[in-house]
Amino acid sequence: MSHAANTKNGHLSTGINLNNLSLIRIRGARQHNLKNIDLELPRDRLIVFTGVSGSGKSSLAFDTIFAEGQRRYVESLSAYARQFLGQLDKPDVDAIEGLSPAISIDQKSTSHNPRSTVGTVTEIYDYLRLLFGRAGEPHCPICDRSISPQTIDQMCDRILDLPDGTRFQILAPVVRGKKGTHRKLLSSLISEGFARVRVNNEVRQLDENIELDKNYTHTIEIVVDRLVKKPGIQERLTDSLATCLRHSSGIAVIDILNNTSGRVSASRENNMYNLNDTTNPVNSYQEQPQELVFSENFACPEHGAVMEELSPRLFSFNSPYGACPHCHGLGSLRTFAPELLIPDPEADLISAIAPWADKEDSYYTVLLQSVAKAHGFKIYTPWNQLTPEQQQIVLYGSDKAIWMENRDDFRSFKGVIPILQRQYDETGSELQKQKLEPYLIDRPCEVCQGKRLKPEALAVRLGQYRILDLTGVSIAICKERINSLKLSERQSQIADLVLREIRARLQFLLDVGLDYLTLDRPAMTLSGGEAQRIRLATQIGSGLTGVLYVLDEPSIGLHQRDNSRLLKTLTKLRDLGNTLIVVEHDEETIREADYIIDIGPGAGIHGGRIVSQGNLENLLAAEESLTGAYLSGKRVIETPATRREGNGKSLILKNCHRNNLKYIDVEIPLGKLVCVTGVSGSGKSTLINELLYPSLQHHLTKKVPLPKEMDGIKGLNAIDKAIIIDQSPIGRTPRSNPATYTGVFDAIREIFSQTIEAKARGYKPGQFSFNVKGGRCEACGGQGVNVIEMNFLPDVYVQCEVCKGDRYNRETLQVKYKGYSIADVLNMTIEEALEVFKNIPKAVTRLQTLVDVGLGYIRLGQSAPTLSGGEAQRVKLASELSRRATGKTLYLIDEPTTGLSFYDVHKLLDVLQRLVDKGNSILVIEHNLDVIRCADWVIDLGPEGGDKGGEIIVVGTPELVGECDRSYTGQYLKEVLLQHPPKVSVR
């Protein structure tokens, strides 16, 4: 690649000779804040788009380049096909040439489907199902003995063990779970002399008209013979079994018509999971089965446990043939949890049950009073003083009829949990369901213990491993086990291609730093960064070439240790012959890129221009580039010369053991900026979000139960408020905006109501709200736009014809402050509004904090869904900064630097330091070394992720952590502290 400067035709010097490369040419890009950009990008290169947050990177990468590539693909389909696809609007761009088919790999969660797992998303589980279905060895689910084929004599012996007088019929399954009308099959059975069939568990005469819906699956079994067990039937039984096996590919079903006493050990439903034994997942069933299943292929000689012929669907928890029948393959059941229903055990019964606590003198209060009177306890007795039997009665009911005084009648009491479960299942109100959702929890299925599959599937082995031995361990261990499989020559021939594909896909996951995940982990529990890296690994496995990949910060949530592996993955994808456009702030990724586009120089209206394009030297030399200034050292985030001593108080979590935490004790000093660090999957989020925050909520509100996976927490009295500041939207609808969220709009509406014109008209502050009737435009409901549904095309947002997008009626817009209407104010940037309202103390405080956190460019009325995660988080921080400090607030922040440039991180750190200087405490989960080195205290978890993590490696100041050789964070922190030694004290 040539690095000669190219200054022809007025282009910026790029450092790359574009004349020798095929190009993607963009002309006149004006999407969002882009300022009519013309740009040429080299194909088959790793291209990084960088710049301050809000400068227009995503607008160019996703909303322009990817959107146009996606739109052109969808437009090539028929109108019928387009109605099933979400079509993107045509971006505001004059032309894009040289565009390849585009694939977006963003931060959105992989799936919200509880059936999706890491294994299914990456398709590794599909290959494992194929592997076990074709090369597996069936074992008895009861005794774990290898199962061998059965002979007709063995089948006869089993049937003849039935008690005398047992009536049964011999069934030959000829159709099992297949769609269709099956008319030809039914006609052929009549010609063969059969009289009856069992269709979907119902016995039908063949001479009647059997109509089957072709769109549903059906099971058809021939009734070969009907017999009564008595002496002398062996010869007929043998003939009937032979006929049955001939028609059903070696399977015979014995349907027992009367369930007499005695025990038969062979059945496809006679096995239950052993809840205590981890090596043998099943135990024998205790009652006689209704059916016996025999196979010429597989049966246990001792217990009679039968396995049908192995197939991939037996190992699918999404198929009724493989899924646990109790939980239908989900592995868990959604039930009401007593600990959530009774968050405060010290409260009396009348107020302890959270869903009924706010319903004074309601039917439920009378019901509880009647229950208490009938069972001899008081309704005002604290919950934890009730006996276990009394608690059981309240939660699950009793058979004893109770007298309802207000009904003058006896009623049975079903119990709190059954009553709530019925309400949840039967209600048609989404609002009612939302009210009950907080009290529901996913508990592991009591039958399969969360394993999702039937015992027959779990008993199959490939070499020395069951399928659960591969999916229930980390990906790193899974790959080791795959490599150590001991297979026979025949199995090796069958499994060769499949194993090769599995090894490759596992390696791709290892390459992107996901070695700590397990294949059976639900996809909905993955973070945005993990989900993105999984999709990245999947794309490498697809082996596509000539594709344009657009990625959104793939380094998010990734420790510095794993960055190099991620970069190798990106370059591998590029070397396959693909073009990668990566929106990124990570320094290492920027330095490794083939081509860098810096957009800016500022954010919002101050951005949208190409500041630098080309190689790293161009970026470092660009005078307007803030990114280049931080990379070159012209701008520096200074390391504090001293660390805060704190207020001498601490929170101490005892014996934490949730997920992968190894029974650790954690002390969190207060009055400091504390960072929790460690490699991905080491237990940081579990410790803070799943143990600490619920404990604080329990202490402060009593509405959340105390987590059970810890022995307690000390020092809670030093905290009077706990606030999580994450990157979730500040609102879900266009009505939510920075003005309403921060409260500055209340002050602005008050100001407008105090104007002479407003007083003359009798307008109150509510007149200037677009959320209530009065001053808003009723034609659009105060939204400024109307939504037009376009069927197979995307919905179109049309400006309201009445208010022209102003949201208010004409009378309200006639009221002005300093020449501006209320609509003009909502359309102002924060910086402009600060100048207009600089003499109004209530408004200026909130507006100034928004400017301080680097959001001066966003508009007051900008709708919440259009704000990025980083912008939403900083709006929340600004809202907190403008409040009066109590000095006893603890802020919990999870990776606040996500989506932030060096400049924005600098701003963020200033805000965090100000919050701590007010006497508050901040606890941050973070990988960013600039934040870590500016912290007062660091708690490092590790040493690895997953099962190999969950320990405390080192705690102390950043300098102390940097001296710990065992800490991966410390190794990188030591380097960055040498590069940026303390210069001045900020204390």
Rounded Cα distance between 718 and 713, Å, is 12
Which residues are CB-neighbours of 151 under 8 A, at least 6 positions away? 296
Does residue 191 have a known ligand-binding role? no
Is-contact 613 596, C-beta < 8 A? yes
Instruction: Please count the CA atoms within 13 angstroms of the CA of 966 that sit on its side-chain side.
Output: 10
Q: What would the two tokens of residue 712 be?
A: 């307690």
Widest distance between CA atoms in the chain: 110
**∠ at Cα 735 (729, 740), nearest 5°?**
75
Is-contact 26 18, C-beta < 8 A? no
Rounded Cα distance between 499 and 485, Å, is 10
Rounded Cα distance between 766 and 775, Å, is 8
Residue among 40, 47, 55 at smallest CA distance from 590: 47
Q: What would the two tokens of residue 108 be?
A: 């959105």
Is-contact 344 352, C-beta < 8 A? yes
Rounded Cα distance between 130 and 73, Å, is 33
**DSSP string computed for 135-169:** H-B-B-TTT-PBPBPPPHHHHHHHHHTSPTT-EEE
Does residue 136 have a known ligand-binding role? no
Does residue 608 have a known ligand-binding role? no
Tokens 């920027």 sit at which residue?
590
Strands of the 202-205 sheet, one edge to the other:
202-205, 196-199, 217-228, 167-179, 251-256, 291-295
Does residue 901 have a known ligand-binding role? no
**Residue 583, strand partner residues:** 49, 552
CA dihedral over 571, 573, 574, 579, signed as positive or negative? negative
**DSSP string computed for 323-379:** B-TTTTTSSEEEEE-HHHH-S-TTSBHHHHSGGGTT-TTSHHHHHHHHHHHHHT--T
Q: What would the two tokens of residue 762 be?
A: 């009798």
The helix (H) or strand (E) run that includes residue 530 is helix 528-542
Does residue 681 have a known ligand-binding role? yes
Which residues are CB-neighbours of 352 under 8 A, at least 6 positions away? 342, 344, 345, 382, 383
Does residue 764 have a known ligand-binding role? no
Does residue 187 have a known ligand-binding role? no
Q: What would the two tokens of residue 23 be?
A: 């190009």
The helix (H) or strand (E) run that includes residue 909 is helix 902-917
Does residue 373 have a known ligand-binding role? no
Does residue 57 have a known ligand-binding role? yes
Angular region, 28: left φ>0, alpha ψ -120 to 50, beta rest = left
Does residue 133 have a known ligand-binding role? no
Does residue 319 have a known ligand-binding role? no
Hey, what long-range contacts does 204-211 have (CB within 8 A, 24 or more apart)?
210/186, 211/181
Rounded Cα distance between 794 and 88, Å, is 7
Backbone dihedral angles phi then psi of residue 710, each to the nearest 5 degrees: -160, 155
Rounded Cα distance between 231 and 195, Å, is 26
Does residue 682 have a known ligand-binding role? yes
Which residues are CB-neighbours of 217 under 8 A, at least 6 positions away? 177, 178, 179
The helix (H) or strand (E) run that includes residue 39 is strand 37-42
Binding site, by residue number, is: 51-58, 678-685
Binding site for ATP, by residue number, is: 51-58, 678-685
